[in-house]
Structure formats: structure tokens, C-alpha cells
Amino acid sequence: MLKVVIWELRNRLSEHLRMVRGGWEILITDHCKVVAEPRQRKKVSVIAAYPALVRHAQAGKAGSGVPKRPETCMRARPCRHPNVA
């Protein structure tokens, strides 16, 4: 594990990112306190992350959020407030 001060990280950001991609663990410190710990992003499938949502979508209970009939969407209505012209 490597501890890096913010100013050093800023000066050599590309190098430190390569180290993180290579599997190194880095702690970013500010005034001797750890403020961040960058990590490699884990690849998670949608099925593993949201199994209930996938089941609902397969059963037809969940959708993409796009209306099936666009004409049923809410339309902008004129203001009917008496004080507004």
C-alpha cells in the first residue's frame, strides 16, 4: 500500500493511475489524514446487481420508462390562474 500526498498525486496523476490499474492500493492523504482510496472499477452485470429488477422486467412489470403510447403523455397546459394574462 502506498500513501500519496495530494500535491504529489496532482503532479504525477498518470503514473499513479497506472499503478492503480496494475493492482496497487493507494491512499491519498491531506495533512496526514486519508481522504481517498482510488480503486479499479469492478465489472458487475445488471443481472447480478439488480436481480429483482430483471425478474420484474421479464414478467412485464417493469419497463424502460418510455411510454408505449406517446399520445398519453402529459402535455403542457395553458395557465388558468386569474391574475396571469
Domain count, the chain: 1
Cell numbers for 23, please give them. 493492482
User: Which residue range(s) make up the domain with 6?
Assistant: 2-36
The total number of residues shown for the chain amounts to 85
pLDDT in tens, 23-55: 899 999 999 999 999 988 777 776 777 888 888
Q: What is the pLDDT of residue 12?
A: 95
- Per the confidence metrics, is the pTM higher than 0.85? no
Report yes or no on 61 lying in a domain.
no
Report yes or no on 79 lying in a domain.
no
Determine the average pLDDT of the residues in 57-75. 69
Long-range CB contact pairs, 27-33, < 8 A, 24+: 27/1, 27/2, 27/3, 28/4, 29/3, 29/4, 29/5, 30/5, 30/6
Task: Centre a 10 Å sphere on the Cβ of residue 5 and count the other Cβ atoms it contains.
Answer: 13
